[in-house]
Structure formats: C-alpha cells, structure tokens
Amino acid sequence: MPTYCYRRGNGELVELVMSYAEKCRLESQDGSLVHKGETLKRDVAAEHSRTVGSSAGWPIWSDAAAVHPDLVPQVSDNLRRNGVLCEFSRDGRPKFENAAHRRAVLRQFRMHDRNGYC
C-alpha cells in the first residue's frame, strides 16, 4: 500500500499508509484530512523527496551482485585489473560507494539493473 505524507499545523511530518481508495474517501478537495482528531495537510513534495536526487542510502551492499565468498579474491583481482576497485563483505556482497561506482561494477559483471539507471 502507498505511503502518503501529511503535515501537522506545527510542520511535523506524518506518514500514513492507506489504499488509494481510502485516501480518496478521507481526503478533502484542498488536500487535508482529519486523523485522530487533528487536521493534516498533504505534502506531495515530501512523498517524492526520498527518491529524486537523494544521495541518502550510499554506500549500499548488494545482494544481487554477490559472489561466493571463496571467489572474492579472484573477482576483486579481475575488477582491479579493469580499473575498478570494490570492497566485498565476508559473505561476498560488493559495496557500492555511489551510483557511478555501482554502474562500473555492474558493467564489469555484465549485469544490467532494469529498475536502475545503469
């Protein structure tokens, strides 16, 4: 279910998880709704601020691009020979420092993330 962001009168952010049908039923035309006795005003920008242009979340440890722990030295050496330095966890997960680093490592692995921008 989607998460909708609202602001209290004092500016504090409140996140409500509800279906679209429920949101349409509860929300008035001006984007406000009454929740637990207080009026909240919808903040659409706050709903999207975490995904657009945000550097939060880096570095990340990738599960999908992990290798067997016994192969980490060999894979790390191959990456280094191709000009990409990458740290691996003990269980074989690569650490992506930022989007460009992630793109470079995935390119060396011949992987493509259809949900990403590689």
Encode 48-68: b = buried (16+ Cβ within 10 Å), e = exposed. eeeeeeeeeeeeeebeebbbe
Task: List, for residues 61-78, the tens digit of each pLDDT value.
Answer: 999 999 999 999 999 999
Same domain (yes/no): 98, 77 = yes
The residue behind tokens 């504090």 is 12
Across 1-118, the runs of DSSP E, i.e. the strands, are 3-7, 13-17, 32-35, 38-42, 60-61, 87-88, 94-96
Cα-Cα-Cα-Cα dihedral sign, residues 89, 116, 107, 53:
negative
The set of long-range contacts for 9-12, using a CB threshold of 8 Å and a minimum separation of 24, is 9/38, 9/39
The total number of structural domains that make up the chain:
2
Tell me, yes or no, whether 42 and 20 share the same domain.
Answer: yes
Q: pLDDT of 21-75, one tens digit each?
A: 999 999 998 889 999 999 999 988 888 765 444 556 789 999 999 999 999 999 9
What range defines the domain where residue 76 resides? 60-108
Q: Which residue has the tokens 């008035």?
A: 28
Q: Are residues 64 and 101 in the same domain?
A: yes
